[in-house]
Structure 1
Amino acid sequence: MEIHTRAGSGYTVLACEGRLTMTTAGRLREAVDTAVRDGDPRVVVDLGATTFVDSSGLGALVGGLRAARTAGGDLRIAAPNDQVGSVLALTNLDRVLTPHPDVEAAARGW
């Protein structure tokens, strides 16, 4: 999995490409921690190019949410595909990590 970081208007976008699994979840945790540590606790995780998420990937998203909120920000997800959306719904995490159709929609209201 690759993570591409870019600055939004008052937030950081982390675009994940590939599979978010046990072997790659640490990279997402590190990317969120870096954004928060660098003073930008508002993070959008763009899952548009993420092909698969397992429980470790979900754990990384929840851990990132916790880190962002502890720093006074938030973590939102954008553009999950059907597989990712199904996993979020089956685990009821779609109630905590509300999926947004795109990055702009996720960042709206900040």
Structure 2
Amino acid sequence: MNINLNVEVVEQDQSTTLVLTGEIDAYTAPILKESLLPLTKTANAEVIVDLEQVNYMDSTGLGVFISALKSAKEHDSKLKLIQLQERVHRLFKITSLDSIIDIDTTVRGGN
């Protein structure tokens, strides 16, 4: 089992950015969830997830982002995904999650 996900947390004045590198799948999703969910539980927080270096994600990853979105709404926080590669962005489009999750439409790779 190769766990291939690195999570870097970058604090800024008004927001927190999670910079992800690697793959989001059944093995790495718990790492993402453990890092992401607590950030969404702060009232009025802005949480940005930078997915530029994520080249693979499966449905387990989508589940983590759905949980994070629910948590953010419950705590009046904002969740935004940025710099998605085309193959990852396609997952959000196919499942129509792009209509409920704030996704920066600047798509990386495959352009």
Normalised TM-score (structure 2): 0.82
Paired residues of 1:41 and 1:69 also in contact (CA < 8 A): no
What SS does structure 2 have at the residue aligned with 1:88?
helix
Query: Which structure 2 residue ranges, 5 or more long, are not aligned?
Result: none
Deviation at 1:77, TM superposition (A): 0.2
Which amino acid is 2:47 matched to? V
Q: State the distance in 2 between where 1:39 and 1:27 align.
A: 23
The correspondence for 1:17, drawn from 21, 31, 35, is 21
Task: Give the alignment partner of residue 9 of structure 2, picking from 1, 5, 8.
Answer: 5
Looking at structure 2, the residues matched to 53 and 23 of structure 1 have their Cα atoms a distance apart, in angstroms, of 11
Name the larger-Rg structure: 2
Q: 2:59 aligns with which of 55, 70, 91?
A: 55
In proportion to residue count, which structure has more helix? 1
Q: Percent identity?
A: 23
| Distance apart, 1:41 and its partner CA | 2.9
Contact kept, 8 Å, 1:12 with 1:40, in 2: the verdict is no
Q: Distance in 1 between matches of 2:41 and 2:74?
A: 11
Give the alignment's Cα RMSD to 1 decimal. Answer: 1.8
Q: Counterpart of 1:92?
A: 96
Partners of 1:98 and 1:86 lie apart in 2 by: 14
Partner of 1:41: 45
CA offsets 1:56-102 (integer angstroms, 9 cap, x no match): 00000111111122111011100000101111111111111232139
Question: Which amino acid letter does the alignment assign opposite residue 14 of structure 2?
Answer: G
For structure 1, the 5+ residue unaligned runs are 103-110
- Range with greater deviation from structure 2 (92-101 or 46-55): 92-101
The superposition leaves residues 5-64 of structure 1 with CA deviations (integer Å, 9 ceiling, x where unpaired) of 011231110111110111111111111223245667321111010011100000001111
User: How many residues end up aligned between the 2 structures?
Assistant: 102
TM-score by length of 1: 0.83
